[in-house]
A and B are shown apart, each in its own frame.
Chain A
């Protein structure tokens, strides 16, 4: 289980994330939604070690990883994809995945791991294509494959469905369910609300860096504050403005 406790991130005077606590159990898909600029990617960076929190702690299966370097977190079982694609363009798709393959504690060779994941993702035909030639929708799958190659306990997916067409998103939904069924935890940041509602068992909602709601998809759908954050209502706007 991934646990985030009281994480705050300040950039100068701006509080990008304010005292956020959440948890993501393994074997399920946990959603993290919120309007643009809510602090979702910043929180992802803190969890994966690409950014340091001003305060708070992050732990994976009870091990405090707050101060750990990103690659060590990856070796402990935490991996992610990126909203702005970060594939290694000169390498082929198979090489991208093989490079991330876990080497210790497994008999599987990196290229076997890549072949297995490519088949699982349904993009075996792209194996020898250079990564910078892969269209965005499928590139998201390659990033997912690369994240899975590290044999993670938990993967963080940052807007994995953006740039995918409806068919691809449907395919993606199936993949997420399978990944969770294999016992891997998924923390999903996504703007495609039907996708989030369809696959997540728990959803957390961030707004202006603060956690404003958590619950099952059904609870979130009915939550006044969530509706306000996305659509804005006069009533909630005034309380927001009144808050210090």
Chain B
């Protein structure tokens, strides 16, 4: 009974901290419509800041608290609103979520950068050592502090939202931002206030929860993310229900900690990770039973996906394999160890194209699918390349299973459900000890590292490091072509239709649920192959595939353009190879910061940077002289490198220089080509507009949005002139054809 009581009290304290965190999240979401995935990271970094002030520099507790909660937190929130979030107005809910995921990644990178993770940073409870004895149980003061803080937050928010002008204005901007503005409210101010309070509450929860574990960036962030389940319990709307959710979560958590350790020895190992997974499980369950939201309208998004042609795609696939075949002999075995992950990561990246890029289902568990593929592949121990098919099959089945609950969810809820699944696998299922079903032994992660056999065909042995690297590139090229085939098929068009006309697609006779299950399975299958290939390249363990490790892959894909297969190559090279760290020493420490904060700038170019590469590559493709010249130059460099005229460093630099120079030369040549008539000029302007990512190959934006969503361009004038036949007038031509 004493155990029960003390567990209840500590559970209430945990609940109080979750409630503080979740209410900040809900407040920002309801006021601004942005689900701040970085909430946990903001709490984490605030806890670090507090530790710095209070324990490292020895500031008095109240001063440090004021500095973090009332100065740093609100300032950060206001800056975030002003610099980042305000510019995302009018983008889809998903884009905004991705930006906050990027922020999470950036903050994680930043904290590791500032506070060396190798150093232990103990953080003490408030009033450490002070304990109250009530009815035989000992309650630390810290728990009272947590309860009091939660109560104060609840009362404070209630007064703010219902008794103050600012609060009422905040509630008004939830319903209709424009309307609220017309009636004298200032939505920007409300949003800023919401972000300020949200960040402050995140900081508060971070400081309260940090003493339960040593200060460490990722665990602390995930600990606060646990509170998201409570927020979803309140449907991201209701603060009272959020507090109830936090109560359930906190009590379940502490009871589980208390009672699951008393399980019999033969069962205990299976529940070792269960406690840590409880918040994820609760989130999953809440999402399952929550009533489905009604169909929303479509947001006109600026995101477009260009239909890739077969010619270019085959060329790209061939370039991948041939390029790899040419480079591999030049590499030392030690280089191959560090570069081996490139194609495995690229395959996982390309798996995101159909699911996230085309269908708009933001899955945060692609690396978990990859893990299941890798587990299946390692379990089979078959040296035939067809074993990859088995990995695809198992991962695909897992994907279809995840799709079932995700069917009725939309937008950010798909992201939350898949994140919950990823965390559930990381913390619980992947921690399972060896077990057997019937007489068959299973050992998921084989107590650490997956042992896989590399493929071997009669006459071709891919098991050497160089041959395996080539093999991986061939698998990636095939995956790339498969995804292009999907994009060009009716199935691919259906996926786009689901993303762009969610209400209309079913009335066209298309079975949306079947298509969603299919695309989840397909994407998971490709990711599974990627996981298998990855586990063959380097020793893979549980943390190779964990939730946080998946975020950079997603972010680089999104920055590159998640609907285009080209970004998968960029993902592989950027995250899997030492290219960047060779060019910029110490790059590892910067990687997450760079990826994160580039992702934060996503609002500016939601189609990703590969869209910007279209123009240079088209220029080169159209100019046979430059194209052949470029290929000859690349071959010549390779020949000289093979003849050992110079080392790998200059070779890479010179090759990059050739690749950069080709489009510049092609552009010059195109500009000085034969005298152009005005009509041709217009046509070229039209082409240029198309190349510059013009929506229709004509105008830089839909006519009614021209000059509103993007600056009005010269090409637009040319196109409009052409459309209303003004070109003829310039030519002194037939005025009677003018139709206005």
Residues of A in contact with B (beta carbons under 8 Å apart): 48-51, 69-71, 73-75, 78-80, 82, 84, 86-91, 95, 99-100, 102, 110, 129-130, 132-133, 135, 143, 146-147, 149-150
Contacts and interface: CB of A to CB of B under 8 A. Distances in A.
A89 B302 CA distance: 10
B319 interface: no
B485 to A, nearest CB: 16
B127 to A, nearest CB: 47
A89 B500 contact: yes
A90 B496 contact: yes
Contact of B493 (A49, A84, A87, A91): A91
A86 B298 contact: yes
Given A48-B507, A73-B507, A99-B497, 8 more contacts: A50-B507, A71-B511, A74-B510, A86-B501, A99-B490, A100-B510, A133-B703, A146-B504
9 contacts: A50-B503, A69-B506, A71-B512, A79-B508, A87-B500, A88-B497, A90-B305, A129-B696, A133-B698
B699 interface: yes
B492 to A, nearest CB: 10
Contact of A150 (B297, B508, B704): B508
Contact of B506 (A74, A90, A110, A133): A74
A132 B702 contact: yes
A84 B507 contact: no
A44 to B, nearest CB: 10
Contacts of A149: 508
B490 to A, nearest CB: 7
A132 B497 CA distance: 12
B300 interface: yes
A75 B702 contact: no
Nearest to B696: A133
Contacts of A132: 300, 695, 702
A100 B295 contact: no
A78 B301 CA distance: 29
Contacts of B500: 87-91
B509 A74 contact: yes
A80 B507 contact: yes
A99 B510 contact: yes
A69 B507 CA distance: 9
B694 to A, nearest CB: 9
B509 A102 contact: yes
B702 A88 contact: no
B518 interface: no
Contacts of A88: 493, 496-497, 500-501, 504-505
Nearest to A69: B506
Interface in B476-513: 490, 493-494, 496-497, 500-512
A135 B509 CA distance: 25
Q: Would you list the 3 A-B pairs with minimal beta carbon distance, nearest first? A: A86-B504, A70-B506, A100-B508
A71 B501 contact: no
Nearest to A11: B294
A48 B294 CA distance: 15
Interface string B339-362: 000000000000000000000000
Contact of A99 (B297, B494, B511, B699): B494
Nearest to A86: B504
Contact of A86 (B503, B696, B698, B699): B503
Contacts of A84: 297-298
Interface in B666-696: 695-696
B634 interface: no
Contacts of B497: 88, 91, 99
Contacts of B502: 86
B493 A130 contact: no
A205 B641 CA distance: 82
A89 B490 CA distance: 16
A150 B300 contact: no
A54 to B, nearest CB: 14
A71 B508 CA distance: 7
B304 interface: yes
B699 A133 contact: yes
B510 A82 contact: no
B696 A130 contact: yes
B493 A99 contact: yes
B272 to A, nearest CB: 43
A95 to B, nearest CB: 6
B510 to A, nearest CB: 6
Interface in B696-711: 696, 698-699, 702-704
A135 B703 contact: yes
A49 B500 CA distance: 19
B701 to A, nearest CB: 9
A211 B289 CA distance: 36
Contacts of A87: 500-501, 504
B294 A51 contact: yes
Nearest to A89: B500
Contacts of A48: 507
A9 B294 CA distance: 14
A29 B611 CA distance: 47
A71 B503 contact: no
A42 to B, nearest CB: 11
Which of B504, B696, B703 gathers most chain A CB within 10 Å? Answer: B504
Contacts of B305: 90
A20 B57 CA distance: 73
A97 to B, nearest CB: 9
Contacts of B510: 71, 74, 99-100
A82 B497 CA distance: 15
B507 A74 contact: yes
A82 B503 CA distance: 9
A188 B392 CA distance: 49
A74 B702 CA distance: 31
Contacts of A91: 493, 496-497, 500
B329 to A, nearest CB: 42
Contacts of B511: 69, 71
Nearest to B500: A88
A70 B300 contact: no
A74 B505 CA distance: 10
A235 B593 CA distance: 70
A134 to B, nearest CB: 9
Contacts of A51: 294-295
Which of B301, B496, B506, B699 gathers most chain A CB within 10 Å? Answer: B506
A95 B298 contact: no
A70 to B, nearest CB: 4
Contact of B508 (A50, A99, A129, A135): A99
Given A88-B497, A95-B493, A132-B300, A75 B695 contact: no
Contacts of B503: 50, 82, 86
Interface string B278-315: 00000000000000001101101100110000000000
Nearest to A102: B509
Nearest to A96: B497
Nearest to B512: A71
Contacts of B512: 71
Contacts of B501: 86-88
Nearest to A85: B298
B702 A49 contact: no
Contacts of B294: 51
Contacts of A146: 504, 508
B508 A74 contact: yes
Contacts of B505: 88
B509 A71 contact: yes
Nearest to B508: A100
A48 B305 CA distance: 30
